Amino acid sequence: GPAITHYGLHCHVRDYHFTKYDYSDFDVNACGRIFFRPPQRPSPRERLCAETINTLNDALCDFYARHCGDAHEPVACPPHEQMGEICANTVDNCETLRKTGGCGAQRTREGCAATCSETCRCGDSHPSCLAWAMSGECVKNAAFMRTQCKSACARADADAEARAAAPPLAPGQLVDTWKTPSDCLAWASSGECENNEQFMRSNCALSCSPEERAASEERLAAARAEYWKRCPRPPGAEPALAPGEMNRTIERILSDFGHLKPELVSADPPVVLFHAFLSDAEADAFVAHGKGKYSESRGVGFDKDGKMTDVKTEIRTSRHTWCQERNCLADPLVQAVQERVSDVSRTPVTNGEFAQLVYYHACPKDGGASCAFYKRHSDYIDGDRQRIQGVRIYTLFMYLNDLPEGGGGGTRFTDLSTPITFMPEKGKAVFWPSVLADQPDTIDPRTHHEALPVWAGEKFGANFWIHQYDFRTAHHAGCTMG
């Protein structure tokens, strides 16, 4: 096939970010359609970006039209029953193997026929269709999936019908088949058995069973009672954020901290970009304290006894460490930043977690197994409602270095009325709430966000998470993860 050389090509049109990796899964069946339509009243830069995208797409389609005859015409797919006989994945991690080029090996093609075989993907416009279908997207995103992933959805439907027709398993026969069983318990406790039923019933049947959930709730209630006996909140402790106070905090930021160059990017919910929150020396100090100490980032879940624990998660692949050792906490530059965070947020220093220092390395290719990212999430942890420190109310994220042009690594707020992406720039910081202004113990889902992959260079950052109550005293007493 043809090759297009466009090193470093990238451009933005509103919320769409195009890079050369968008052509890694070029689909000849899409020829004849506009690859990307520019928005109304585009800027000259946006119009040029859209024209570039469509010109590249037209060039590829023209090549296939001239050299491959009718290759772009849809072919008749084998009957689903026939595909079911020959299409099956008999080994684990087929999707990861596909993304890393493993389908080129005969052994992988045989063990991952459903994922790697062109015949098995007949009627699917993207190689990830099967993975999407098996995670329930044919139901949650039917308009797209039923047209672009027809074969994968047919397989998912057949699997669902087979499960429905099969006699129910006795409680003692149920198992969690997901590769990390502790994930199943955490997902079940957060409502995923109802919100993502198809995936959970297939992979976390035990954790979703009424008997197991009832037993888990009993263990969780007992663990909470023991926790509050061991970790009582001091009498008279007042929450840092009262209903209605958030707006006063934002107004004060904009009026009293002009030297930090604050910009109100979103009013409701409030999201503030500080263009000059850190000095170069302060940013360099955090990077230096993290060097050589980064470890795999993990999420939060519950073990079989209902106790909070770290769990490996599919949505986060960055690395991190904590500024909680004496040499970091005693650094005057670090202390100055901590006091600034406290002043800006109108919260005591002790309500803040120790700064989490994060590191994202460059991604070799889109979807690569070693890519570092943190997919859409909220910093709010529901379980903290039942802990002495209370929930996270604010996040202040700081960028500690610059990335090269086109290096990616942005922080994208996905659920704002107008989604926005902040690009890394040394010294900048973003401040936002994780809770509602009038209900400061309740999550604000509009501040979900994600850390996008880094395409060139490396990204260093620092998270400051602020709680309703004293976190550090609770941490020293071993009470923050009970």
Please tell me which residue, 3 or 474, carries the higher pLDDT value: 474
Tell me the C-alpha to C-alpha distance, in Å, between residue 231 and each of 16, 118, 340, 475: 48, 58, 29, 11
Point out the least confidently predicted range of 10-19, 229-238, 270-279, 324-333: 10-19
Which residue from 351, 290, 277 is spatially nearest to 318, judged by alpha carbons? 290
Tell me the C-alpha to C-alpha distance, in Å, between residue 282 and each of 225, 334, 365: 43, 7, 32
Between CA 29 and CA 467 the distance in angstroms is 51
**Which helix (H) or strand (E) is 295 found in, with range?**
strand 295-296
pLDDT in tens, 419-444: 999 999 999 999 999 999 999 999 99
The three-class DSSP label of residue 220 is: helix
User: Percentage of the chain with pLDDT > 90?
Assistant: 36
Q: What is the DSSP letter of 398?
A: E
pLDDT confidence of residue 239: 96
Helical residues (DSSP H) of 190-257, grouped into ranges: 192-195, 197-203, 205-208, 210-230, 246-256
Between CA 277 and CA 461 the distance in angstroms is 13
Residues 50, 13 contacting (CB under 8 angstroms): yes
Confidence of residue 325 (pLDDT cuts 50, 70, 90): very high
pLDDT surpasses 50 at 310: no
What the block records as the tokens of 342 is 């406290």
The neighbour count for residue 431, using CB atoms within 10 Å, is 26
pLDDT in tens, 363-389: 765 554 445 556 778 899 888 888 999
| CA–centroid distance for 45 within its chain | 29
What the block records as the tokens of 29 is 């069946």
Please, what's the largest Cα pairwise distance for the chain? 79
Average pLDDT over the chain reads 77
Q: What is the DSSP letter of 304?
A: T
Indicate the pairing of strand 319-322 with strand 356-360.
antiparallel
Between CA 397 and CA 390 the distance in angstroms is 20
pLDDT confidence of residue 139: 76
Between CA 466 and CA 348 the distance in angstroms is 9
Mean pLDDT, residues 17-26 taken together: 48
pTM of the model as a whole: 0.58
Residues 406, 453 contacting (CB under 8 angstroms): no
Dihedrals φ, ψ of 353, to 5°? -65, 165
pLDDT in tens, 27-66: 444 454 444 444 555 566 666 666 666 666 666 665 555 5
Residues 6+ apart with CB under 8 A from 437: 243, 244, 246, 247, 269
